[in-house]
Every structure is written in structure tokens, then in C-alpha cells.
Amino acid sequence: MKAIIRHKQWDFEVNLAQPIDISIPLTNTDQNPIAWYIEKPVIEPVRFGDWIGKVSEGKSSTNFNNIFFNPHGHGTHTECLGHITREFYSINQSLQQFFFTAELISIQPEESGEDQVITKTQIEQALGEKRPEALIIRTLPNKIEKLSCNYSNTNPPYLDENAAIFIREIGIQHLLIDLPSVDKEHDEGKLLAHKAFWNVKDVDNLNKDARLDATITEMIFVKDTIDDGSYLLNIQIASFENDASPSKPILYKIQ
């Protein structure tokens, strides 16, 4: 099903029958990706005495599971600036629109000592003159292990602070990346890229120009078969009143 999209100053065509899912499913197996030193998610039936909420166990007419997970550490998630502020802010309140123009770029992080860093220059060169509402960064090499990696204590690549400032200054509202964080794993709590992107100067006393409606989505996976270029992005979240929610970003190729 094709649709003509009239979005702000742009008119373009997308095929809604050809969604491109760049989220990672959440499972209770050892194949689920993990970050931040936690264990895998738990999905298990409710139990009341001898009763088990699982049809295959023969004592229930429905499957009735509890799910225990952490949105930041267990897969694709979208977060608001409430992730780093003393005052509570909810992703459910911060994200009120769900469709955006987006540009997908692929970048091989540069070596910097023992780190791998995505730089401002790399993003400038990849974007050129394009100024989308959302930026999607696929890091290279694009290993399939991203779908099941345990990132804890591996020092994954991260976004340089100046790159995050540049992304903010050119007006990008939504940043998506296939890493567990835009910041370095062990950074003494500085969170330089998070703060730069959201324009948060003081986490204890939020400045008036902080970007309340901007989001970061981490731990996506963009297959090699998906070309760099322009897309319509749909960010789908669950209605959690929390700083972050598991999410399902969907791309539609702009015709």
C-alpha cells in the first residue's frame, strides 16, 4: 500500500506495505543482547500454588506471563532526557509525535587510544547538506553478533561529544544508534554525549533550553541489506511512564 506523505515542507511517497524493522526482539534466552552488567530477561508464567499460567502445562486456558527486563540493558529502547536528570521526565510524555524524516548513515568508528569513537567530521561527511529530523547511525563492521552480544565490560564504540553537539546544532531531534550507549562505557559518569545532545547543562537544575522532546534510541540493528539513504521513520514505544521504553523503530524507504 503506497501513500503520499505530506510532512511539514516535504511531500514524498512511501510503501507502507514494506516496513523495515530495525529493532532487536526481547527474549528470555542467552541470545538476548545484554549491557550494563545485568542478567538476561525473565519471561515466565504466573504461578498460584499448583496453578501455572501456561496452556501447555494443562492447568490454564491462557498463557499468562510475567516479564522482568531492563529497557536500557536488554535491547532496543528509546529514552528521553529523564534518563540523566534528577527531576523525573517520562518518555511517554516527551515523545508525542511518531513519524519523522530520517537519514541512515554507516560509519566505521576511528581508533583513539584504546577506544573507538564516532567523530563530528565523520558525521558531517556522511550527511553532507542533508538535515533530517532523525539520524540513524549504523557502525561498521556490522557484525551479526550485535543481535546477541553481551556488551558488559567490552568498551564498545561511542559518540564523541563534539559529534553530539553538531547533531544537536543542525536540528536533529531523534538519534538512533546500534550501540548500547552513545557514551563511553566507563566514563566516570560524565555522559558527555547524552548531555550534549539533550543540551543538559546541569542535571540537578534543568536549563530552560534543554531539549525535552528529543530522544535517543540505542541497541538497534540495521541489516547490511538496508541501504544508506533517506527514510520515513516511525518510532513505536510502549506507554511506560519511565525515562525509557522498549521500542520498535520502523523505516519506510522514500520512493
What's 132's DSSP letter?
Answer: -
Q: Work out whether strand 20-21 and strand 2-7 pair parallel, antiparallel, or are unpaired.
A: unpaired
Please give the CATH number for the structural domain made up of 2-29+71-253.
3.50.30.50
13: cell is: 511517497
Q: What share of the chain has pLDDT > 90, as a percent?
A: 93
The grid coordinates listed for 126 are 556522511
C-alpha cell at 248: 520498535
SS3 83: helix
| The pLDDT of residue 8 is above 80 | no
Residue with cell 559529534: 163
pTM value > 0.85: yes
Measure the CA angle with vertex 239, ends 238 and 242; round to 5°: 100
Q: Are 69 and 246 in contact (CB under 8 A)?
A: yes
104's enclosing H/E stretch is strand 99-107
pLDDT digits (tens, 9 = 90+) for 79-99: 999 999 999 999 999 999 999
Under 8 Å between Cβ of 80 and 245: no
